[in-house]
Amino acid sequence: MKVLTVVGNRPQFIKAAALSLALRAAGIEEISLHTGQHYDRALSAVFYEELTLLEPTYSLDLRSADAALMRPEILFALARERPDWVLVFGDTNSTLAGALAGVEAGIPVAHVEAGLRSGDLAMPEERNRIEVDRISTLLLCPDERSRETLATESAPGEAAVVGDVMADATRLFAPLARDRISIDREPGGYLVATVHREANVAQPRLGRIVEGLNRLDEPIAFPVHPRTRAALADAELELGPHIEMLEPLGYLELAGLASQARLIVTDSGGLQKEAYWYGVPCVTLRPSTEWVDTVATGANVLVDDDPDRLVRAVREARLPDRLPELYGDGHASERVAEALLGRIGGRD
């Protein structure tokens, strides 16, 4: 069996690293295609080096997040390779482009992280999730809630609960991450902040988020996405002296930093989950989240861009006494491989 995986951003590189190990162990040939959606070296190439990822057979280097530009290039790769499956991760424009290309080429699509919903249709990621789930043959869900969502929506594909591939990556790579902390701080003696979503780096939201961060009185490690750095400069926003701006970090460096923080402030879907698995409280700079169970447990608090709510949530953050297991046992990748080999909905 041959599978073509489509990746384009940081979380997808990490998931692909964990999944590639399981695919190889199952005897599945993997062809990797990197769309170039994140073309900054610290946000793409470094992950291949850190996580011993399969070097991409196809690297589009489009330096664009436009799915319309990606799709014809992906179609070219599919015509050459004729895989049994196109496998896509998550909710990015790379995900959408890969799924649309698979359908156009007549190749079944497997969607990892199927069925997630934040309820916020203003987010392009939410619209991507819905569209990709609607056209995928195999819907690989992280939890039962996601499978139930697909059933409610009458999604035509075959749904299977496999767990979260990101949990596999955390299990596999956490020991390597502990030695990669990039600031001189005691464990629990700092916060980590990340801001990268398009809505959050535009005004007035970015200014309100910076106001909240500036009002905090703890050291903050702030790895800055290139888009965020440019937006801060354009808006002439200044960060307080307690905020240390860092260059974009590789996965292992960020994992080491986040796992030892007192608290994480983020708008990243992946970091919300990772914070939960690390046992670190999380404050999320969004009005909604697809990872609703992290909020239900009390480990994650949604504050949107409200500086008052941000300050209050950071100061009052406490983890519950017991954190239930969420999103699987760290062996989702093996179940993905089993589902693909089972040819659920696939070609003969």
CA–CA separation, 58 and 36 (whole Å): 10
Catalytic positions are 196
State mean pLDDT over 169-198. 85
335 φ/ψ angles, rounded to the nearest 5 degrees: -70, -35
Write down the residue that tokens 């902040």 correspond to. 193
In sequence order, which residues have a C-beta less than 8 Å from that of residue 255 and are 6 or more positions away? Answer: 170, 173, 174, 177, 180, 274
Residues of the chain with CATH 3.40.50.2000: 2-164+328-341, 175-316
Let me know if 26 is exposed, middle or buried by CB neighbors in 10 A (0-12, 13-18, 19+): middle
Give the pLDDT band (50/70/90) at residue 45: low
Give the pLDDT band (50/70/90) at residue 344: very low
Give the pLDDT band (50/70/90) at residue 13: confident
Q: What percent of the chain has pLDDT over 90?
A: 76
CA–CA separation, 206 and 53 (whole Å): 34
Q: What is the reported pLDDT for 49?
A: 66
The CATH superfamily of 175-316 is Glycogen Phosphorylase B; (3.40.50.2000)
Which structure tokens are listed for 298? 């009390």
CA–CA separation, 71 and 233 (whole Å): 33
Distance of CA 90 to the CA centre of its chain: 7
State mean pLDDT over 249-260. 90
**Nearest residue to 173 via CA among 47, 56, 281, 272:** 47
* Lowest mean pLDDT across 55-64, 165-174, 250-259: 55-64
pLDDT at 346 exceeding the cut of 80: no
State mean pLDDT over 184-209. 94
Q: Regarding the domain delimited by 2-164+328-341, which CATH topology (the fold level of the hierarchy) does it fall under?
A: Rossmann fold (3.40.50)
Write down the residue that tokens 């939410």 correspond to. 126
Q: What is the reported pLDDT for 183?
A: 72
Q: What is the reported pLDDT for 345?
A: 42
pLDDT at 324 exceeding the cut of 90: yes
β-pair type (263-266, 191-194): parallel
Q: Please state, as a whole number, how many other Cβ atoms lie within 10 Å of the Cβ of residue 124.
A: 17
Which structure tokens are listed for 285? 């700079």
Q: What is the reported pLDDT for 126?
A: 96
Q: What is the reported pLDDT for 40?
A: 52
pLDDT per residue as tens digits for the range 95-114: 999 999 999 999 999 999 99
CA–CA separation, 115 and 134 (whole Å): 10
DSSP symbol at 4: E
